[in-house]
Amino acid sequence: MLHLTQEQIKEIAEYLDCGLRSFVHKTTGAFKTMPKEEDMEYMDLESWEEDIEEQEENLTDYVEFERMPSREAFRVMEDFAESIDDGTLKERLFRSLSRPKPFSIFKWEIDNSGPYREQWFAFRDERNREWVEEQLEELNSLEGDE
């Protein structure tokens, strides 16, 4: 059974949100992050070389936590918009979600929403942590089935 602290869950969620891959060692609980494979050709990988080699050589010793899929991230934006008490902003956020490129338009609306910007970050971070916790629960339940 894989046990992670709340701080580890928070860090994994943050790395995933930044677009990095996150792996946790099944036995030790230590985690490693690295760029996605499609990003590797554009990056200086020197600082990640050791982690990449270790993970590739011991593939079965690690589990990978997945980034929240777009449809789930979209649902998080809808839930946040629903929670807003400012009717004008709520309407703008829902309108942004119904337009082409909803992620970038929603981001623009949030970035220009004054105090709601910080509320959005806290809301999104909490939902990202919950996403990691759900994956952890699923991994542990699968392990119990073996």
- Given a contact cutoff of 8 angstroms between Cβ atoms, the answer to whether 26 and 146 are in contact is no
The pairing of strands 31-35 and 20-25 is antiparallel
pTM for this structure? 0.85
pLDDT in tens, 36-76: 766 656 666 667 677 777 777 877 888 899 999 999 999 99
Q: Tell me the domain boundaries of the chain.
A: 6-67, 70-126
What CA–CA distance (Å, rounded) separates 13 from 62? Answer: 17
Q: What confidence tens digit (pLDDT) does each residue in 96-124 have?
A: 999 999 999 999 999 999 999 999 999 99
